[in-house]
């Protein structure tokens, strides 16, 4: 596993939270994207080498809606950059972790992603994240 790629934060209202985080970082989000399959609208900030993803639910069945119901707003996941997501999934599965997406799926920001079940990771939702290479 490589560096932390980004931290995901669940928010109730993306417009309100965008303004809040724009004040914190002193910069506007560099990207906004809706991932319909996940029922989320995302907004990405960059501050120095660090990235933060704000996530808002777009429907009540969205995993973000369920998270907000259970835990309220706050840190939702930590994403680690990996070179080869298929190999990392196989390695972590071999270590006994439950992988929520054994076949990586397309996430926001041009990434292939997979999540580890938080029950096996001290309650921390861990995202593996591989840049989709062009060509």
Interaction site with Zn ion (CB under 5 A): 8, 53, 79, 127
**Residues sharing a CB contact under 8 Å with residue 31, sequence separation 6 or more, in sequence order:** 43, 44, 109
Region at 19 (left for phi over 0; alpha for psi -120 to 50; beta for the rest): alpha
Closest to Zn ion by CB, 81 vs 86, is 81
CB of 102 to Zn ion, least distance (A): 18
Closest to Zn ion by CB, 52 vs 135, is 52
CB of 6 to Zn ion, least distance (A): 6
Nearest Cα to 127, choosing from 1, 43, 36? 1
Closest to Zn ion by CB, 44 vs 97, is 44
């Amino acid at each position: 596993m490589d560096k932390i790629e980004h931290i995901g934060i669940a928010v109730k209202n993306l417009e309100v939270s965008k303004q809040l985080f724009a004040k914190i970082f002193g910069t506007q989000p560099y990207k906004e994207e809706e991932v319909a399959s996940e029922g989320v609208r995302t907004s990405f900030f960059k501050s120095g080498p660090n990235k933060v993803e704000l996530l808002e639910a777009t429907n009540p069945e969205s995993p973000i809606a369920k998270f907000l119901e259970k835990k309220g707003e706050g840190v939702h996941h930590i994403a680690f950059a990996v070179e080869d997501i298929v190999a990392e999934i196989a390695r972590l599965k071999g270590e006994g972790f439950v992988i929520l997406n054994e076949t990586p799926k397309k996430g926001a920001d041009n990434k292939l992603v997979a999540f580890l079940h938080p029950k096996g990771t001290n309650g921390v939702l861990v995202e593996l994240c591989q840049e989709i290479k062009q060509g």
